Amino acid sequence: MHRPVLLGETLGLLQPRPGQVAVDATVGSAGHAKVFCEKIQPEGFLLGIDRDPQVAELAARELMSAGFTRGKQFEIEVRRFSTVDEALARRRIPSLDLFLADLGVHSLHLDLADRGFSLKRDGPLDMRMNPGEGSAPSAADIVNGADEPDLARIFAEYGEERFARQVARAVVRERQRCPITTTGHLREVVAAAIPRRFHPPQVDVATRVFQALRIAVNNELEELDALLAKLPGLMSVGGRAAIISFHSLEDRRVKEAFRQLARVCKCPPEAPVCTCGRQPEFRVLTAKPIAASAAEVAVNPRARSARLRGIERIRAAQ
């Protein structure tokens, strides 16, 4: 079962109200979306987006089971969230009032071995959110095809893995013996490459390497950057947006994007005094990121690294 992370905190931040247009850009199992749909009725509409067709279909079933009408009260689309502007334009929706992106991996990905994300269940080394997206490379393609410096860069940059070079060297050595095609095989290689005394006590030693590959396979940071660039232009005055991230690479991007939006002065940094006379168009709602409570982490350990940030549009573009 997939539990929505920081549900109460997200509702408190976004304050959904009847008649609003809501976008859940990572709809998953509709845990957040079901509550949004309840709060924005009557006359509200929720657009749910998910990159994974299997997960999107699950969300649609969940919302219909909860009594909501597809096509009238909600719709689900399979697409990357970086294209949310296209989804809104196609439906002739000029702006949104409520926006959420939960950047965590869906429990379906972690619990089903054949998707290639799991550290606990051996399966094909895939990790593609949507295997049907053209010729996108799988994790196995990268592991067996990238050269050693590129692998080390991926593990260090996307996974912040301290032993990136040692792991890359071990991967290249092992794939010369036989291709690395399963999650279990890769985990064994990573575990052997990292000195035992540096294995974390409560987290799988291969977590950072798996994270790095998932990010590389799905271009996750580029997708997030594109979303953050488009989001301000999609928000109505009074509209609120929230993003839940699960590692520092994502959280830093969200923090900086929101901070820049809330800046009052738009003059060049080298200007000695402000001459633009602008007023702020956005207000940051979270001085610090909101973390899951100890009680939530106790029932949902995957929430332990979740960080929630929010922003509100307070004025039209000048």
217-259 per-position pLDDT tens digit: 999 999 999 999 999 999 999 999 999 999 999 999 999 999 9
DSSP string computed for 75-96:
EEEES-GGGHHHHHHHTT---E
Query: Are 237 and 309 contained in the same domain?
Result: yes
Choose the final residue of a domain: 183, 218, 253. Answer: 218
Choose the final residue of a domain: 150, 183, 218. Answer: 218
Query: Are 237 and 274 contained in the same domain?
Result: yes
Query: Which pLDDT score is estimated for 136?
Result: 80
> What's the sign of the alpha-carbon dihedral 5, 9, 10, 16?
positive
- Asked if residue 109 belongs to a domain, the reply is no
12-34 average pLDDT score: 96
201 contacts: CB under 8 Å, gap ≥ 6: none
Query: Are 214 and 224 contained in the same domain?
Result: no
Query: Is the pLDDT higher at 262 or at 110?
Result: 262
CB-count burial class (<10 Å; 0-12, 13-18, 19+) for 236: middle
Beta-strand (E) ranges in the chain? 21-24, 45-50, 74-78, 96-102, 235-245, 282-284, 290-291, 307-313
Query: Which pLDDT score is estimated for 121?
Result: 85
Q: How confident is the model at residue 2 (pLDDT cuts 50, 70, 90)?
A: low
Whether 213 shows a pLDDT value over 60: the answer reads yes
Query: Are 227 and 253 contained in the same domain?
Result: yes
Query: Which pLDDT score is estimated for 317?
Result: 83
Q: Is 308 helix (H, G, I), strand (E, B) or coil?
A: strand
Whether 70 shows a pLDDT value over 80: the answer reads yes
Phi/psi of residue 91, nearest 5 degrees = -95, 5
Residue with tokens 């929010």: 310
The overall average pLDDT reported for the chain is: 92
Choose the final residue of a domain: 191, 218, 245. Answer: 218
- Asked if residue 67 belongs to a domain, the reply is yes
135-154 average pLDDT score: 94
CA distances from 162 to 26, 172, 193, 198 (A): 30, 18, 11, 10
Q: Is 147 helix (H, G, I), strand (E, B) or coil?
A: coil
158-165 average pLDDT score: 96
Whether 157 shows a pLDDT value over 60: the answer reads yes
104-117 average pLDDT score: 74
Q: How confident is the model at residue 1 (pLDDT cuts 50, 70, 90)?
A: low
What is the C-alpha separation between 176 and 145, in angstroms, rounded? 11
Query: Are 149 and 21 contained in the same domain?
Result: no
Q: pLDDT tens-digit profile of 172-196? A: 999 999 999 999 999 999 999 999 9
Whether 158 shows a pLDDT value over 90: the answer reads yes
- Asked if residue 212 belongs to a domain, the reply is yes
93-110 average pLDDT score: 87
Please give the structure tokens belonging to residue 49. 């987006």
Q: How confident is the model at residue 133 (pLDDT cuts 50, 70, 90)?
A: confident
Task: For Cα atoms 305, 17, 103, give the angle at the middle one, nearest 5 degrees.
Answer: 25
- What residues make up the domain containing 209? 120-218
Contact 290, 8 (CB under 8 A): no
Query: Are 207 and 263 contained in the same domain?
Result: no
Number of domains in the chain: 2
- Asked if residue 129 belongs to a domain, the reply is yes
Query: Are 160 and 239 contained in the same domain?
Result: no
Query: Which pLDDT score is estimated for 270?
Result: 74
Whether 88 shows a pLDDT value over 90: the answer reads yes
DSSP 126: -
Query: Which pLDDT score is estimated for 135?
Result: 72
Phi-psi region of 176 (alpha: psi -120 to 50; beta: other; left: phi over 0): alpha
Query: Are 85 and 127 contained in the same domain?
Result: no
What is the percentage of the chain residues whose pLDDT exceeds 90?
A: 80
- Asked if residue 79 belongs to a domain, the reply is yes
Query: Are 199 and 63 contained in the same domain?
Result: no
